[in-house]
Amino acid sequence: MDSCPEFAKNPTLIKVVTLWYRAPEILLGSRQYSTPVDMWSVGCIFAEMVNQKPLFPGDSEIDELFKIFRVLGTPNEQSWPGVSSLPDYKSAFPKWQAQDLATIVPTLDPAGLDLLSKMLRYEPNKRITARQALEHEYFKDLEMTRECHND
């Protein structure tokens, strides 16, 4: 970072994703930024569009994590294998049980809830991909152009 004066002046540039849309693996210290991180953000934005308010409006990284945990449950090795090896994971985190997403996003139909749950999976490699999301039942009535499917 010392070689880049812009980063030295503004360390917030390092944080690529706005806090409210940041994936839990990033909040827990993972340095692997991959497309599942983006799909988590898409899920947060999808829920926000439906609810007309942010899903996880944290005011700090720990508050953001706890807002996620209160909705999806505190992750453990059963719900997210490997989570305990992330740098900022603490076994002493408060233990919350997962809530039913239908109570969190009550106007979303069953297909939308299924799509949202696949976007907000804890395990990054189990999250739905953008292509899979476009092919999801939730969008079955949406006409896709050939360009959408051939990229």
CA distance 108 to 97: 21
- Which of the pair, 78 or 1, is modelled with greater confidence? 78
Span 48-75, average pLDDT? 98
Q: Which domain holds residue 12?
A: 5-150
64 close to 56: Cβ distance less than 8 angstroms: yes
Span 84-98, average pLDDT? 98
Confidence of residue 16 (pLDDT cuts 50, 70, 90): low
Query: Is the pLDDT reported for residue 144 higher than 70?
Result: no
> 37: which residues sit within 8 A by CB, 6+ positions away?
17, 23, 25, 26, 124
CATH code, domain with 72: 1.10.510.10
CA distance 57 to 51: 13
The number of distinct structural domains making up the chain is 1
> 139: which residues sit within 8 A by CB, 6+ positions away?
133
Query: Is the pLDDT reported for residue 146 higher than 60?
Result: no
pTM for the full model? 0.84
pLDDT for position 98: 98
Tally of residues, the chain: 151
Distances (CA, A) of 111 to 68, 103, 115, 135, 141: 22, 15, 6, 12, 12
